[in-house]
Amino acid sequence: MPRIVGIDIPNNKRVPIALTYIHGIGHTTADAICKRMGFTPEMRAKDMTDEQVAQVAALLDKEYVVEGALRRQVAQNIQRLKEIGCYRGIRHRRGLPVRGQQTQSNARTRKGPKKTVAGKKGVKSQK
């Protein structure tokens, strides 16, 4: 398996797809890197020479923020939002959706499992 930026990319995948296994590299960026390096879209990762792997690693290191550095940068950005107390920071702190989604009936992914409120359903009006 070729190892780029500390990540093993799969051998049997095409190079543009294999590059997307690196955190911070999507389809568009992977295609741009392949075009810049002169790789054909059908080229497999196992067909890359050590020199080509080194060139891709050098390009990623020089021009893109990927893997650990990107994760650190995102965490620092979220921490900054929390510290300044802006709306997005408060939403992050409370574990609620940040980008304006509705929460009355959905948002279970962010809010977690339902928390049952005791005595809410059993209250009946007496006549």
pTM: 0.76
Q: Hey, what amino acid is at 62? A: K
Question: Where in the chain is CATH 4.10.910.10?
Answer: 74-111
pLDDT 10s digits, 76-115? 999 999 999 999 999 999 999 999 999 988 889 998 998 8
Q: Which CATH architecture has domain 74-111?
A: Irregular (4.10)
Q: Is the dihedral angle over the CA atoms 117, 118, 120, 121 positive or is it negative?
A: positive
Please give the helix or strand (H or E) that residue 74 lies within, else none: helix 67-84
Question: Where in the chain is CATH 1.10.8.50?
Answer: 3-64
For the domain covering 3-64, report its CATH number.
Answer: 1.10.8.50
